[in-house]
Structure 1
């Protein structure tokens, strides 16, 4: 008998019919145009596009579109927490927008000081770069042999998810992830967040 231990769950939901993607896209573009501190940070860090990650921490109070989104994200985070058998109700800790221009990438990282992280995809052109998740055990697999290319998803060292507009993904914050190169022709818009 073989048992699967230490699973790494990924929560996925389709919000495309439940939120106004066009209103959120408009809000992202307004922020990208008006947030001078965010523009400076992006320039200093060579971020190919715009993010409010290091400049604005009050988006749900600043813009009704994000204010309306907050309880929806909260509900999904609490559903996921129940699926994880957690005895806690996650609270939204931070929320930021991402506007990636063609050619952009986002290197592998985790989200310290939070328990759940996630992204809601607003406008995802073709070839805009999947999000890649890394098996958290990978650093400990020093002598592990290569996996068969057709290995089931739960046995792969990396799993790529190509989201669509309206896709919501949530994961435990310790899971390393990255955005692969954006080879599309238009901007890739998303909203990312952390729960504590």
Structure 2
């Protein structure tokens, strides 16, 4: 019997859309910068939890409901998230996917986003608005890592599917989708120009018969 490869972890990296990304990203940058200036609650939350950067996670985490620009982003993401869920094998008959959370992240210099997952959601992801040269990648962790207590180190020449960590270095205009249970982090970039991204979660609900 051949060796089996089981329980894959699938991450998708794709363009948000084929046309108009530069103009759309400029609009998003304007909204993000205006939000940061006006969001005193978010500034205080970021100073405590996101030192050196800004995130609206602690103040405005449903931007798709208060900004028309973010509503356009939601509309573009909906079919991609549905296609991703179907590719994962989820049965969506009689079920509806919808964006539940959406927030801004602005990072530069030594700002980090430590290891975390997205509880109480189903599919999560990030849309990259501005990614300067040298900006850090998003780093994913093997979900079995805490169960490998007695294992020796892995070889450096293993293919990505065999590694304990894998980094995705996205470009502006790309979306990274992953299941919400997958732990991930963003190391420091040490760039002067900001890395701007929009993180989001999707949930599902039964549709009425």
Q: TM-score, normalised by structure 2?
A: 0.89
CA distance in 1, matches of 2:154, 2:36: 42
Partner of 1:93: 100
Relative to structure 1, the CA distance from residue 160 to residue 58 in structure 2 (aligned partners, 3 Å threshold; closer, same or farther) is closer
CA distance in 2, matches of 1:83, 1:114: 18
Alignment of 1:55 onto 2:62: no
Partner of 1:74: 78
CA distance in 2, matches of 1:179, 1:116: 18
Partner of 1:143: 150
CA distance in 1, matches of 2:160, 2:61: 36
Residue 128 of structure 1, CA deviation: 1.3
1:88-111 CA-partner distances (Å, limit 9, x unpaired): 342111000101121111100011
Q: Larger deviation: 112-121 or 87-96?
A: 87-96
Q: Larger deviation: 169-178 or 68-77?
A: 68-77
Unpaired segments of 5 or more residues in structure 1? none
Report the count of equivalent residues.
196
Alignment of 1:43 onto 2:47: yes
Residue 46 of structure 1, CA deviation: 4.4
Contact in 2 for aligned 1:118/1:194 (Cα 8 Å): yes
User: Does the residue aligned with 2:128 lie in a helix, a strand or coil?
Assistant: strand
Contact in 2 for aligned 1:97/1:190 (Cα 8 Å): yes
User: Does the residue aligned with 2:9 lie in a helix, a strand or coil?
Assistant: coil
Partner of 2:4: 3
Q: Larger deviation: 141-150 or 118-127?
A: 141-150
CA distance in 1, matches of 2:50, 2:182: 24
Runs of 4+ in structure 1 over 6 Å off: none
